Amino acid sequence: MAGHVVKRAFKYRFYPSDAQAAELARTFGCVRKVYNLALAARSEAWTLRRERVGYGQTSAMLTAWKQTAELAYLNEVSSVPLQQALRHLQSAFTAFFAKRAGHPRCKSKKRSRRSAEYTTSGFCCRDGVLKLAKMSEPLHVVWSRPLPPGARPSTVTVSQDRTGRWFVSLLVDDPGVGPLPVTDTAVGIDAGLSSLVTLSTGEKIPNPRHERRDRARLAKAQRELARKAKGNGANRAKARRRVARVHARIADRRRDLLNKLTTRLVRENQTLVIEDLSVSNMLKNHSLARAISDAGWREMRSMLEYKASWYGRELIVVDRFFPSSRLCSACGTIGDRMPLHVRTYMCDCGATLDRDVNAANNLLAAGLAVSVCGAGVRPQRNTPGGRSATKQKAHGASRENSPSRRGRSQGTPLRHG
């Protein structure tokens, strides 16, 4: 991190005039059109001629499209977001060929995110005034927090969510983000549903269940939407926005809580140990899918990853098959599987264990073993019947951004209890 300046996005809400809203709506439509045309051209070239078309060729195509009568309206908006759409498509294909993502799909007018990205040639930001290309008046931005001193945005992204709210995101270099003072504290973090997270210190962060709190309001809005005649009517559009507002309220509150929680954990601890949860597989459990989605485990892990990188902390991820709940943190005995409603149990050694605190302590121990000794540590553990066996307590743990074990370990499968 020494000498490295972090790029950080600052997001603000703004209120466009009617003319600006119309101009931005046209820009969103043109960005979507150019993206879909380029995607179709690249897909057709590969299907018919096994020819790969790159960004340079699609950029030349864009120039030709603007000269046709059918697509002449592309000249009415700034060319910068249109070029950025082609770059985004190139990035999507790069990720596809590297097998990091699926094949790019066409953008939809109703379902896709409405956004346009401007580079430095497409905007002017100075002294708290932001002006976009092709617009005579600056945007009315609510500067809810200051930009870093002397910051100059490299890109500006304008977007509109499903509720109709307008946002502008400025990407800047933030020299104020850097490694925090080194501490000797470490914490194991066990994600759950009854408690959002349980720490190895014994602290439990309650799960606010944002979606459950607004479930009645969401159901009422969805019923009203279902009663509206299908089509492009104004009443159906209003009902759809009411549903979107409830969803946005839930998502905003969840994101705010996770941001505050992850920032606190990263600031207080030098080493953080979490479990590599397969959230997509867990969502197949229809009894718990709604609660798991509401908890936001995947978003929390993502926040921990980039904040640990920002502030010079170490994030260790333990393999998902590590039996953190069934392994006694006092004697090392691995117990039998337990149903989820069992939150406290007694080990054969006589220790009374809180399931979540026990799991957090085991995660911390496994993570510290890897941090000190490296992956591959296999301490001897005893089975419930007293038979000695080699159990992988720390072998399943790995440092973040290093290859992790995805399959079962040899011998008895060790799954999360």
The verdict on 309 and 399 lying in the same domain is yes
100 lies in some domain: yes
Whether 127 and 187 map to the same domain: the answer is: no
Domain end (from 174, 190, 218): 174
Q: Determine the pLDDT at residue 412.
A: 33
Predicted confidence at residue 346, as pLDDT, reads 76
Please identify every stretch of the chain with a pLDDT value under 50, giving residue numbers as ranges: 1, 376-417
State which of 152, 174, 196 marks the end of a domain: 174
CA-wise closest residue to 147 among 123, 124, 176 = 176
| Residue 148 belongs to a domain | yes
Domain presence at residue 238:
no
List the domain range (segments joined by +) for residue 117: 6-174
Residue 408 CB coordination number (10 Å): 12
Domain count along the chain:
2
* Residue that the structure tokens 């009894």 belong to: 287
Longest dimension (CA), the chain: 82
Query: In this structure, are 42 and 154 located in the same domain?
Result: yes
Quick check: is 216 in a domain? no
Contact 185, 17 (CB under 8 A): no
User: Could you give phi then psi for residue 179, rounded to 5 degrees?
Assistant: -60, 135
Residues 137 and 189 in one domain: no
Query: Is residue 305 in some structural domain?
Result: yes
Asked if residue 212 belongs to a domain, the reply is no
Residue 104 lies in a domain: yes
Residues 410 and 334 grouped into a single domain: yes
Of 128, 157, 174, which residue constitutes the final position of a domain?
Answer: 174
pLDDT, residue 330, reads 75
Do residues 292 and 384 both lie within one domain? Answer: yes
> Do 354 and 288 belong to one domain?
yes
Tell whether 40 is covered by a domain: yes
Residues 370 and 389 both lie in one domain: yes
For 45-80, give one letter per residue: b (16+ CB within 10 A) or e.
eeeeeeeebebebbeebbeebeeeeebeebeebbbb
- Given this model, what pLDDT does residue 371 score? 66
In terms of domains, do 11 and 144 share one? yes
State residue 400's pLDDT score. Answer: 45
Q: What are phi and psi of 119, to 5 degrees?
A: -95, -175
Average pLDDT for the chain? 86
Residues 195 and 127 in one domain: no
Catalytically annotated residues: 190, 275, 356
Q: Are residues 168 and 192 in the same domain?
A: no
192 and 328 housed in the same domain: yes
Digit-coded pLDDT (tens) for 27-54: 999 999 999 999 999 999 999 989 999 9
pLDDT at 365: 87
pLDDT at 368: 84
**In the prediction, which pLDDT does 372 show?**
63
